[in-house]
């Protein structure tokens, strides 16, 4: 079974429902970031960067993150984000929750997919917590 299939199955098992007939990962080449939709996601992807275990783990976390967004953000979302206003934009102060939970689940999904061990899961969470705690901006701007 492909790693991506393991990720989608592990993510779907968390919610217990798959709300589409098909889902597409659209790799658009080198860059940064992704954008989620109801039944697909567009992700920056550069196969040349997958040259070690850490890089592969980072990519699996990223793909799990973008996939899980079809649940957490596209279907479970702050009130202000649905329906999205493409003319004026939609503002919310709840992205800390939408993104924060998705980051938590990306690591858990990759672990449950059998693609990372517990040490890797905990190291990734530790890295995020340390990045937050060592960021002086947290004293000036709350997560909201
Ligand atoms: Zn995200």
Summarised one tens digit per residue, pLDDT across range 9-34 is 999 999 999 999 999 999 999 988 99
- Cα(128) to ligand 1 centroid in Å equals 14
Whether the per-residue pLDDT at 112 is higher than 90: the answer is yes
- Phi first, then psi, for residue 41 (nearest 5°) are -140, 145
- Cα(64) to ligand 1 centroid in Å equals 10
Whether the per-residue pLDDT at 141 is higher than 90: the answer is no
pLDDT for 28 equals 93
Specify if 144 maps to a domain: no
- Cα(16) to ligand 1 centroid in Å equals 21
- Cα(65) to ligand 1 centroid in Å equals 6
Specify if 143 maps to a domain: no
CATH of residue 58: 1.10.390.10
Specify if 141 maps to a domain: no
Specify if 106 maps to a domain: yes
Alpha-helical (H) ranges within 16-140 are: 53-68, 95-112, 118-133
Q: pTM, whole model, 2 decimals? A: 0.92
Specify if 127 maps to a domain: yes
Q: Strand, coil or helix: what is 44? A: coil
- What is the domain count for the chain? 1
- Say how many C-beta atoms besides its own lie within 10 A of residue 13's C-beta: 12
pLDDT for 85 equals 84
Could you report the per-residue pLDDT of 63-77, keeping only the tens digit for each? 999 999 999 999 999
- Cα(66) to ligand 1 centroid in Å equals 6
Whether the per-residue pLDDT at 47 is higher than 90: the answer is no
- Cα(2) to ligand 1 centroid in Å equals 23
Specify if 70 maps to a domain: yes
Domain range holding 63? 3-135
Whether the per-residue pLDDT at 121 is higher than 90: the answer is yes
Specify if 142 maps to a domain: no
């Amino acid at each position: 079974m492909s790693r991506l299939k393991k990720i989608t199955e592990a993510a779907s098992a968390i919610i217990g429902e798959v709300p589409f007939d098909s889902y597409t990962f659209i790799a658009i080449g080198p860059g940064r970031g992704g954008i989620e939709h109801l039944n697909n996601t567009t992700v920056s992807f550069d196969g040349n960067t997958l040259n070690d275990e850490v890089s592969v783990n980072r990519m699996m976390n990223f793909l799990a993150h973008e996939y899980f967004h079809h649940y957490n953000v596209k279907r479970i979302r702050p009130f202000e984000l649905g329906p999205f206003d493409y003319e004026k934009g939609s503002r919310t102060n709840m992205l800390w929750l939408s993104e924060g939970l998705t980051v938590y689940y990306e690591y858990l999904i990759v672990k449950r997919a059998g693609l990372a061990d517990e040490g890797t899961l905990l190291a990734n969470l530790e890295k995020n917590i340390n990045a937050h705690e060592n960021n002086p901006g947290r004293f000036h701007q709350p997560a909201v």
